[in-house]
Structure 1
Amino acid sequence: MKLSRIFLSIGLLFAVVPAEPAAAQEAAPNPAPTSDAAALSKARAAGTKQRKAKRFYERSFDLSGIPSYRPQARVHGTLRQWGNNYLADSGLMQVWQDGFRKHHPKLRFEDNLYSSSVAFPGLISGAADLAPMGRQALWDELKGLEREGAKGGDEGVGSVEIVEIVMATGSYDVRGWTFALGVFVHKDNPITQLTIEQLDGIFGAQRDGGWNGLTWDASLARGPEKNIRTWGQLGLEGEWADKPIQPYGYNMKYHFNDEIDKKVLKGSSKWNESMRAYSNVAGLKADGTLTAGGELIMQALSKDRYGIAYTGIPFLVPQTKALALGGGDGRFVPLTLETVQDRSYPLIRDVYYYFKREKGRPVDPKVREFLRYVLSREGQQAIQADGKYLPLTAEVAREQLRKLD
């Protein structure tokens, strides 16, 4: 069956800005850094190979509040999965499947785990039963599935729904796997905390509304008077008062921006006009691994006392610092392993499973039982033992299990 092609676009493109490439080239065997897609894929694979067997945290979290797995039905046949390659690269998927087959020895798995980008094409085409993703579904992907559910005329409209299951909390300190997003400034900057509304003012721009799922919501509009463009607007005085804020981030093909857009910019995709945007580069490192856009972002920020950036804690350098974030209630939460795992930090990122279901009909038993296993104590213990993603809290695990009823 021909797969539907999903084009990812947010509507705003920034130029890729290299950060001090000349200095990096002097130490690299390849004097020609490149953003060529084939070279990037090769360098990315080299880095993934180094990381997949490594634990990135040793902390054990209390999982006693998450129930152990008890089968509610015996399942057999084939469960087809398309999506997140990190589950296969890390070996976590194999651990889950081995544990699950102890209860359901007649079930087989067919895995096409190459990238989150193949997840929704698999679901839309009917080639996949489950779609694991290292990020939340994009607008284009949801729209594609909505259109697929409406095929066959007006009677089909709304008959198919997508179910989103959070199956793990994204990492704190691991490069290449889903990680929480931090907001960083130069170490000389006296500011220590910001609200999400202030981040909107810094990274965003005036807007006529924003997307709430697949619905355009004009009530999310705001004017230019809420733009924050100088440090003095955030209360800094003296030499800082009139200094312009220089934002740094990723170019708009990165899914990190989708997270910031949804959680900070109200789904508007309206970004600060002065944003400097970066991309991954190959050819800078002697070991052949990728130079991540986050590294380039933090290199630039380390040389700019008046800059601000969003990326992950793996890219923190001594000249920069992370800010505590708050929601406007007076409580500010620092970016730590504990606040990411307990989900109190505002810019956590999640790891997902998606599947289709006919409205009013029960979930496919194979899908339901496997996801119940992933959300069980055994499934979450496997996540913790792998040491990359973080296990869910008991409350969130229960919330996800209710979606399977």
Structure 2
Amino acid sequence: MSALKIAAGLLLLPAILFAASAPSGSQDALELQKTRERFVRERGAKTFYPADRFDLSGLPAYQPEEQVSGKLRIWGNNYLADSGLAQVWEEEFRKVQPGIQIEWNLKSAATALGALWAGAADIGITGRGILWSERLAFQREYDYDVTEIVSSTGSYNVAGWSNALGIFVHKDNPISKLTFAQLDGIFGAAREGGWGPDFEWHREVARGPEKNIRTWGQLGLTGEWKDKPINPYGLNLRYEQSLRIANPILMGSDKWNERIKLFANFTDANGKLITAAQQVMEHLDEDRYGIGYGGVMNLTPRTKALAIAEKDGGPYVPLTLETVHDRSYPLIGETFFYVNRKPGTPVDPKVREFIRYILSRQGQQAVARDGKYLPLTASALQDQRRKLD
């Protein structure tokens, strides 16, 4: 073999190795959207929990405070349409409020806030919290903040339906629980500050590299684990799931562990959607020293979920259907209604009555029957109702 051929082969070797490790399929954005639509429709037709699993007797029954009429325009969260929950809500609400017509535009949560601040929607619905850019746009348009109301708890284990996020490791790993501070040390890095829930920059949450946790020994493991590096895995940082880690755990910082391996959804060679969370779990299944986040529905026989505590010393809460429903697990998902309400003024009566219906026993029973999102607890529901006053 000539020297020229050998040199050419060496130049091609990195590309060959990359191709061997890269996903077999397509990440074309439009093709991926079509694959995702099929994926969501399949899950939308299923019920994952029996309707009687949750005791809703403590929730208040819906009693109209006034009869309202007119058109109610609702934009956003496509999962309400994909599951049929939106239609059920409309049919049941109109039995007691027959003067209302609802115009749904449920293509994506990405449309919700834009439609609201542009005046095209009366209610914007998302399956994730408001983004920094969305809130900024609303504030600049109106010079006040948007009103946010939690409408249900996210699912326990249904991909797409705002499922709770678990922290996972290989089953051989002796670790069983971690705190938010420890997770910050693992997934995060030195930072100069972070964005708070108030969407303001907070310098007081800055930290240095001395708080980085990069070996299992730093978490108290001994023996063979003591000097082993922690291999972190995660989802594309543009996905909302990564924001649900960064905001509470990394204190709103965008500074992540420099060694984190990130994954994105793709369509495989058979036209099946392969999610980023699936890929994280597949790597943890093979990596005894790995740690990652994602959904419990992707758990394998060789991986396990850790109990999580928001504060040092606990309580440490395991990831279960019960702890997600009662909202004691610290990394639950939520769905939100957003309303344009000028401070000091009442909520539009038809908007108020519809949200009061959602935040009632009947509205949450519809959530429970749908079997994906989880109904609110009585205390959480009352907290949200007070936002309408």
Provide the TM-score with structure 1 as the length reference: 0.89
Per the alignment, do residues 73 and 47 of structure 1 end up closer, same or farther by CA in structure 2, a change over 3 Å counting?
A: same
Query: Secondary structure of 2:115's match?
Result: helix
Give the C-alpha shift of residue 214 in structure 1. Answer: 2.2
Matched, 1:266 2:241: no
Matched, 1:109 2:93: no
Give the C-alpha shift of residue 110 in structure 1. Answer: 1.0
Number of the residue aligned with 1:48: 40
Matched, 1:100 2:100: no
Number of the residue aligned with 1:307: 290
Letter in 2 for 1:315: N
Give the Cα–Cα distance (whole angstroms) in 2 for the partners of residues 21 and 370 of structure 1.
52
Letter in 2 for 1:71: P
Give the Cα–Cα distance (whole angstroms) in 2 for the partners of residues 231 and 254 of structure 1.
27
Number of the residue aligned with 1:74: 67
1:126 corresponds, among 119, 122, 135, to 119
1:167 corresponds, among 147, 151, 156, to 151
Q: How does 1:8-87 map to 2 (within 5 A)?
A: 33-58=25-50, 60-87=53-80
2:301 corresponds, among 311, 318, 325, to 318
Q: How does 1:304-383 map to 2 (within 5 A)?
A: 304-327=287-310, 328-383=312-367
Would you say the 8 A contact 1:67–1:376 is kept in 2? yes
Matched, 1:394 2:386: no
Letter in 2 for 1:340: V
Would you say the 8 A contact 2:165–2:294 is kept in 1? yes
1:243 corresponds, among 210, 225, 228, to 228
Give the Cα–Cα distance (whole angstroms) in 2 for the partners of residues 38 and 299 of structure 1.
25
Give the C-alpha shift of residue 124 in structure 1. Answer: 1.6
Percent identity over paired residues:
54
Q: How does 1:177-326 map to 2 (within 5 A)?
A: 177-212=161-196, 213-284=198-269, 286=270, 288-326=271-309
Give the C-alpha shift of residue 95 in structure 1. Answer: 0.6
The higher radius of gyration belongs to 2
Give the Cα–Cα distance (whole angstroms) in 1 for the partners of residues 232 and 179 of structure 2.
16
Residue deviations 1:357-395, cap 9 Å, x none?
111110001111000000100000000000000000000
Give the Cα–Cα distance (whole angstroms) in 2 for the partners of residues 79 and 180 of structure 1.
30
Give the C-alpha shift of residue 24 in structure 1. Answer: 10
Give the C-alpha shift of residue 23 in structure 1. Answer: 9.2
Query: Secondary structure of 1:263's match?
Result: coil
Residue deviations 1:135-191, cap 9 Å, x none?
001111111111111xxxxxxxx3x33111111100011122210000000111111
Give the Cα–Cα distance (whole angstroms) in 1 for the partners of residues 231 and 349 of structure 2.
52
Number of the residue aligned with 2:160: 176
Would you say the 8 A contact 1:46–1:289 is kept in 2? no
Would you say the 8 A contact 2:135–2:145 is kept in 1? no
Would you say the 8 A contact 2:235–2:263 is kept in 1? yes
Letter in 2 for 1:188: D
Residue deviations 1:255-274, cap 9 Å, x none?
00111111101111211111
Gaps of 5+ in 1: 1-19, 26-31, 150-157
Letter in 2 for 1:314: M
Query: Secondary structure of 1:388's match?
Result: coil
Would you say the 8 A contact 1:138–1:258 is kept in 2? no
Per the alignment, do residues 268 and 23 of structure 1 end up closer, same or farther by CA in structure 2, a change over 3 Å counting?
A: closer
Give the Cα–Cα distance (whole angstroms) in 1 for the partners of residues 230 and 185 of structure 2.
11
Q: RMSD over aligned Cα, in angstroms?
A: 1.6
Aligned length: 370
Give the Cα–Cα distance (whole angstroms) in 2 for the partners of residues 83 and 330 of structure 1.
37
Query: Secondary structure of 1:346's match?
Result: coil
Query: Secondary structure of 2:274's match?
Result: coil
Query: Secondary structure of 1:102's match?
Result: helix
Runs (4+) of structure 1 exceeding 2 A deviation are: 20-25
Residue deviations 1:196-234, cap 9 Å, x none?
110011001111111113211111111111110100000
Give the Cα–Cα distance (whole angstroms) in 2 for the partners of residues 354 and 208 of structure 1.
31
Give the Cα–Cα distance (whole angstroms) in 2 for the partners of residues 283 and 191 of structure 1.
34
Number of the residue aligned with 1:91: 84
Would you say the 8 A contact 2:231–2:290 is kept in 1? yes
Provide the TM-score with structure 2 as the length reference: 0.92
Query: Secondary structure of 1:403's match?
Result: helix
